[in-house]
A and B are shown apart, each in its own frame.
Chain A
Amino acid sequence: MTVSIGEIYEEVQPSDVAPEGGQIHGPRAGWKLALSSFVENRLAVAGAGIVVFFILFSFVGPLIYHTNQNSTNPINAFLPPSGAHLLGTDSNGFDELGRMMKGGQAALEIGFFASLIATVIGTLVGAVAGLLGGVVDAFLMRIVDVMLSIPLLFVILIVGDRYNGATVFSLSIIIGIFSWLVSARLVRGEVLSLRVRDFVFASRTMGASRRHLIYKHLIPNALGVVIVNITFQVADTINLLAILGFLGYGLNYPQVSWGDMLSNALNYLSDGYWWVVYPVGVCLVLVVMAFNFIGDALRDTVDVRLRRR
Chain B
Amino acid sequence: MEPVLEINDLSTHIQLSRSVVQAVGNISMSIAPGETLGLVGESGCGKSMTGLSIMRLLPNGGKVVGGSIKLSGVELTKLSDADIRDVRGNEVAMIFQDSLTSLNPTMNIGRQIAEQVRKHRHVSRAEALERAAEALSIVGFPNSKERLDNFPHQLSGGQRQRVMIAIALSCDPKLLIADEPTTALDVTIQAQILGLLDDLKQRLGMAVLLVTHDMGVVAGRADRVNVMYAGRIVESAPTTELFTHMHHPYTQALLGSIPLLTQNRSERLFSIPGIPPDLTDPPPGCRFAPRCSRATDQCRTEEPALEPATNDHHFACWHPVDGPIVRTTIAVNGTAPAPAGAGEAEHSDAAPGAPETVAARNGSAAEPAFGARGWQSGEGDDRLLVVDDVVREYPVTSGVILQRKVASVKAVSGVSFTVGRGETFGLVGESGCGKTTLGKVIVGLEKADKGQVALRGTNVTGLRDRQLRRFRKDLQMMFQDPIASLDPRMRVGAILREPMKIQGIGTKRQQDKVIADLLGEVGLPANAVERFPHEFSGGQRQRIGLARALTLNPQVIVADEPVSALDVSIRSQVLNLMKRLQETHGITYIVISHDLAVVKFLADRIGVMYLGKLVEMGTGEDIYLRPVHHYTAGLIATVPEPDPMREKSKSEVGIKGELPSPVTPPSGCRFRTRCPAAQQICAEEEPPFRPFHPGHVAACHFPLQQPIDGGDPLAAQAGTAPTIAGS
Residues of chain A whose beta carbon lies under 8 Å from any beta carbon of chain B: 1-13, 15, 19-24, 26-30, 33, 40, 134-135, 138-139, 142, 197-199, 201-209, 212, 216-217, 220-221, 305, 308-309
User: Once the chains are docked, how many angstroms separate the CA of A9 from the CA of B473?
Assistant: 30
CB–CB B540/A24 < 8 A: yes
CB distance from A213 to the nearest CB of B (A): 10
CB within 8 A of A202: which of B274, B479, B488, B540?
B479
CB–CB A19/B525 < 8 A: yes
Collect the chain B residues with CB atoms within 8 Å of residue A15's CB. 520, 523
Residues 265-304 of B, flagged 1 when their CB comes within 8 A of A and 0 if not, give 0000001111111101001000000100100000000000
User: Once the chains are docked, how many angstroms separate the CA of A2 from the CA of B540?
Assistant: 10
Q: Which of B274, B362, B485 has the most CB of A within 10 A?
A: B274
Q: A24-B524, A205-B444, A216-B498 are in contact. List 20 more A-B contacts (CB 8 A).
A: A7-B273, A8-B274, A9-B271, A9-B273, A9-B274, A19-B520, A19-B523, A22-B275, A26-B534, A26-B536, A30-B534, A198-B479, A199-B484, A201-B445, A203-B502, A206-B472, A207-B472, A207-B473, A220-B487, A309-B488
CB–CB B473/A206 < 8 A: yes
A13 (CB) vs chain B CBs: closest residue: B273
Known: A207-B470, A207-B503. A221 touches B527 (CB 8 A): no
Q: What is the interface size of chain B, counting residues whose CB is below 8 A from a CB of the partner?
A: 70
Known: A11-B361, A22-B540, A23-B525. A205 touches B477 (CB 8 A): yes
CB–CB B489/A21 < 8 A: no
CB distance from B500 to the nearest CB of A (A): 9
A204 (CB) vs chain B CBs: closest residue: B445
Collect the chain A residues with CB atoms within 8 Å of residue B477's CB. 201-202, 205
CB–CB A198/B484 < 8 A: yes
CB distance from A13 to the nearest CB of B (A): 8
Whether B533 sits at the interface, judged by CB under 8 Å, is: yes
User: Once the chains are docked, how many angstroms separate the CA of A193 from the CA of B284?
Assistant: 44
Collect the chain B residues with CB atoms within 8 Å of residue A5's CB. 274-275, 277-278, 283, 290
What are 27 A-B interface contacts by the 8 Å CB criterion?
A1-B280, A5-B274, A5-B278, A7-B539, A9-B274, A11-B361, A11-B362, A12-B273, A19-B519, A19-B524, A20-B577, A24-B527, A26-B531, A26-B536, A27-B535, A28-B535, A40-B17, A135-B402, A138-B400, A138-B401, A201-B445, A202-B485, A203-B487, A205-B476, A207-B470, A220-B490, A305-B488
Q: Which of B361, B440, B481, B488 has the most CB of A within 10 A?
A: B488
CB–CB A206/B552 < 8 A: yes
User: Once the chains are docked, how many angstroms separate the CA of A202 from the CA of B477?
Assistant: 7
CB–CB B488/A24 < 8 A: no
CB–CB A205/B445 < 8 A: yes
B499 (CB) vs chain A CBs: closest residue: A206
Residues 446-481 of B, flagged 1 when their CB comes within 8 A of A and 0 if not, give 000000000000000000000011101101110111
CB–CB B403/A30 < 8 A: no
Residues 122-156 of B, flagged 1 when their CB comes within 8 A of A and 0 if not, give 00000000000000000000000000000000000
User: Once the chains are docked, how many angstroms separate the CA of A9 from the CA of B535?
Assistant: 19
Collect the chain B residues with CB atoms within 8 Å of residue A27's CB. 534-535
User: Once the chains are docked, how many angstroms separate the CA of A59 from the CA of B400?
Assistant: 50
Pick the 7 closest A-B CB pairs, nearest first: A20-B523, A26-B535, A207-B469, A9-B273, A198-B485, A21-B523, A7-B274
Residues 509-525 of B, flagged 1 when their CB comes within 8 A of A and 0 if not, give 00000000001101111
A31 (CB) vs chain B CBs: closest residue: B532
User: Once the chains are docked, how many angstroms separate the CA of A7 from the CA of B476?
Assistant: 27
User: Once the chains are docked, how many angstroms separate the CA of A135 from the CA of B401?
Assistant: 6
Collect the chain B residues with CB atoms within 8 Å of residue A2's CB. 534-537
User: Once the chains are docked, how many angstroms separate the CA of A208 from the CA of B504?
Assistant: 11
CB distance from A133 to the nearest CB of B (A): 10
CB–CB A135/B488 < 8 A: no
User: Once the chains are docked, how many angstroms separate the CA of A201 from the CA of B488?
Assistant: 14
B481 (CB) vs chain A CBs: closest residue: A198
Q: Which of A9, A28, A206 has the most CB of B within 10 A?
A: A206
CB–CB A212/B489 < 8 A: no
CB–CB A197/B484 < 8 A: yes
User: Once the chains are docked, how many angstroms separate the CA of A201 from the CA of B472?
Assistant: 12
CB–CB B487/A199 < 8 A: yes
Whether B528 sits at the interface, judged by CB under 8 Å, is: yes
CB distance from B519 to the nearest CB of A (A): 8
User: Once the chains are docked, how many angstroms separate the CA of A217 from the CA of B535?
Assistant: 19
B532 (CB) vs chain A CBs: closest residue: A30
User: Once the chains are docked, how many angstroms separate the CA of A3 from the CA of B589?
Assistant: 30
Whether B317 sits at the interface, judged by CB under 8 Å, is: no
Known: A202-B477, A206-B502. A7 touches B537 (CB 8 A): yes
User: Once the chains are docked, how many angstroms separate the CA of A235 from the CA of B278?
Assistant: 41
CB distance from A62 to the nearest CB of B (A): 41
CB distance from B295 to the nearest CB of A (A): 11
Collect the chain A residues with CB atoms within 8 Å of residue B533's CB. 309
User: Once the chains are docked, how many angstroms separate the CA of A26 from the CA of B485?
Assistant: 18
CB–CB B479/A309 < 8 A: no
Collect the chain A residues with CB atoms within 8 Å of residue B472's CB. 205-207
User: Once the chains are docked, how many angstroms separate the CA of A201 from the CA of B560?
Assistant: 12
Whether B306 sits at the interface, judged by CB under 8 Å, is: no
Whether B443 sits at the interface, judged by CB under 8 Å, is: yes
CB distance from A201 to the nearest CB of B (A): 6
Collect the chain A residues with CB atoms within 8 Å of residue B490's CB. 216, 220
CB–CB A21/B473 < 8 A: no
Collect the chain A residues with CB atoms within 8 Å of residue B525's CB. 19, 21, 23-24
User: Once the chains are docked, how many angstroms separate the CA of A146 from the CA of B217?
Assistant: 54
Collect the chain A residues with CB atoms within 8 Å of residue B403's CB. 134-135, 138
User: Once the chains are docked, how many angstroms separate the CA of A187 from the CA of B419?
Assistant: 42
CB–CB B484/A3 < 8 A: no
User: Once the chains are docked, how many angstroms separate the CA of A96 from the CA of B533?
Assistant: 54
A306 (CB) vs chain B CBs: closest residue: B488
Collect the chain B residues with CB atoms within 8 Å of residue A11's CB. 271, 273, 361-362
CB–CB B534/A22 < 8 A: no
CB within 8 A of A206: which of B484, B503, B539?
B503
Whether B345 sits at the interface, judged by CB under 8 Å, is: no
Collect the chain A residues with CB atoms within 8 Å of residue B221's CB. none
CB distance from A40 to the nearest CB of B (A): 7
User: Once the chains are docked, how many angstroms separate the CA of A203 from the CA of B488?
Assistant: 13
CB within 8 A of A9: which of B278, B401, B573?
B573
CB–CB B552/A30 < 8 A: no
A134 (CB) vs chain B CBs: closest residue: B403
CB–CB B487/A21 < 8 A: no
CB–CB A212/B502 < 8 A: yes
User: Once the chains are docked, how many angstroms separate the CA of A261 from the CA of B468?
Assistant: 65
Whether B483 sits at the interface, judged by CB under 8 Å, is: yes
Collect the chain B residues with CB atoms within 8 Å of residue A202's CB. 477, 479, 485, 545, 548
CB distance from A45 to the nearest CB of B (A): 16
Collect the chain B residues with CB atoms within 8 Å of residue A21's CB. 522-525, 539-540, 543, 573
User: Once the chains are docked, how many angstroms separate the CA of A220 from the CA of B490?
Assistant: 9
CB distance from A36 to the nearest CB of B (A): 10
User: Once the chains are docked, how many angstroms separate the CA of A119 from the CA of B274?
Assistant: 46
User: Once the chains are docked, how many angstroms separate the CA of A207 from the CA of B552?
Assistant: 11
Collect the chain B residues with CB atoms within 8 Å of residue A203's CB. 487, 498, 502
Collect the chain A residues with CB atoms within 8 Å of residue B400's CB. 138, 142
User: Once the chains are docked, how many angstroms separate the CA of A3 from the CA of B274?
Assistant: 10
CB–CB B278/A30 < 8 A: no
Collect the chain B residues with CB atoms within 8 Å of residue A138's CB. 400-401, 403
User: Once the chains are docked, how many angstroms separate the CA of A27 from the CA of B403?
Assistant: 46
CB–CB A3/B469 < 8 A: no
A194 (CB) vs chain B CBs: closest residue: B487
Collect the chain B residues with CB atoms within 8 Å of residue A30's CB. 488-489, 532, 534
CB within 8 A of B486: which of A10, A13, A199?
A199
User: Once the chains are docked, how many angstroms separate the CA of A26 from the CA of B487?
Assistant: 17
User: Once the chains are docked, how many angstroms separate the CA of A201 from the CA of B477?
Assistant: 9
Collect the chain A residues with CB atoms within 8 Å of residue B545's CB. 202
CB within 8 A of A3: which of B275, B476, B479, B481?
B275
CB distance from A207 to the nearest CB of B (A): 4
CB–CB B531/A29 < 8 A: yes
CB–CB A1/B531 < 8 A: no
CB distance from A85 to the nearest CB of B (A): 47
